Amino acid sequence: MPVADYAITFACYNQVGYTRQFVESLVASGIDLARVAAVDNGSTDGTRQYLETLALGARILNKANLGCGVAWDQGALALQAEWTVVMNNDVLVSPGWLEGLIEAANSKRWRLVSPAIVEGPADYDFTSFAGEAGSRMKNVHRDGGRHAICVAVHSSVWMDIGYFRPAPKMFGFEDTLFFHDADGAGIPMGITGSSWLHHFGSITVKALKEERGLSGKQGLSHRRTYRVLGQSWLERKVKKWRQIRQRRAWREREVAQYGMSLHGLRREGQFEWI
């Protein structure tokens, strides 16, 4: 059974089919929907009608798309717990994913923790894969790693650095700023191989870009949003380069020892480790 004091929050904007798959995977993994907060950012495709059929702990219906930061904060505040899991709605979870996530955090004394992921089409038996991968990679961790596809946040983090920046113009940048603040406060975090998710691949973000006439390479947030980090253009480039180098080192070490890494990609029916 899942850990006792937890809450899960997710934001959604249209894409009701993915939300349905996500919720069904939560239920199949043993999650109590009374511990789930769903925040709808003005959907028009039947998402709200679907959410009305669920026995959720909180259901928040925004009149307009207020962005992820606002929605995540609304959900986190609606259902408060020792651990709040902030998630995308375009994912599938596996049995034991939450237990593995929190157990790793407690063992490593992390206060932010994210699971290993496979991205792309779900053209494989994810449940079987996650069971095997979780067993093989349960002691593999990326200290300092993070991603907002799914991140469990300990309640002490909210007290130390606050919540996500509630600024709609920061579409897609709220997580970067949050992790930047966490780094500055010295909050320990990481990615664990004891918990696995499948991520279909930023489905909502892609839809929002299409609505706004943006290309796949363009960001949703204001193009000068990075200035809130207090970094120069060069400092930001150097930090990105270091992060890329670190991810490459993690991948090479994991593949050499286990034949796989904590970040997979499905392409043409095969796994690629990135």
Q: What is the CATH number of the domain that holds 183?
A: 3.90.550.10
In a domain, 42, yes or no: yes
Considering the domain boundaries, does residue 94 fall inside one? yes
pLDDT digits (tens, 9 = 90+) for 26-66: 999 999 999 999 999 999 999 999 999 999 999 999 999 99
Residue with more model confidence, 263 or 232: 263
For helices 67-78 and 174-184, angle between their N-to-C axes, nearest 10 degrees: 60
In Å, the largest CA–CA distance within the chain is 50
Q: Does any domain span residue 87?
A: yes
pLDDT, residue 251, reads 97
The domain of 86 spans 6-273
User: Whole-angstrom Cα distance, residue 6 to residue 81?
Assistant: 5
In this predicted model, which residue has the larger pLDDT, 233 or 266?
Answer: 266
The whole-angstrom separation of Cα 227 and Cα 176 is 12
Residue 1 lies in a domain: no
> What is d(CA 158, CA 180) in angstroms, rounded to the nearest whole number?
14
Confidence of residue 203 (pLDDT cuts 50, 70, 90): low
What lies within 8 Å, CB to CB, of 164 at 6+ separation is 68, 69, 70, 72, 73, 174, 175, 177, 178
The tally of domains found in the chain comes to 1
Q: How far apart are the first and last CA of the chain?
A: 31
| pLDDT, position 61 | 97
Q: How far are the Cα atoms of 6, 73, 145, 156, 233 from residue 160, in angstroms, in the given order?
A: 19, 15, 19, 6, 27
Q: What pLDDT does 239 receive? A: 82
Q: Is 267 part of a structural domain of the chain?
A: yes
Identify whether 126 is part of a domain: yes
Residues sharing a CB contact under 8 Å with residue 126, sequence separation 6 or more, in sequence order:
92, 94, 118, 198
Q: Is residue 229 part of a domain?
A: yes
Asked if the structure places residue 111 within a domain, the reply is: yes
If you search the block for the tokens 């067993």, which residue do you land on? 135
E strands in 3-128: 6-12, 36-41, 58-62, 83-87, 91-93, 112-119
pTM score: 0.89
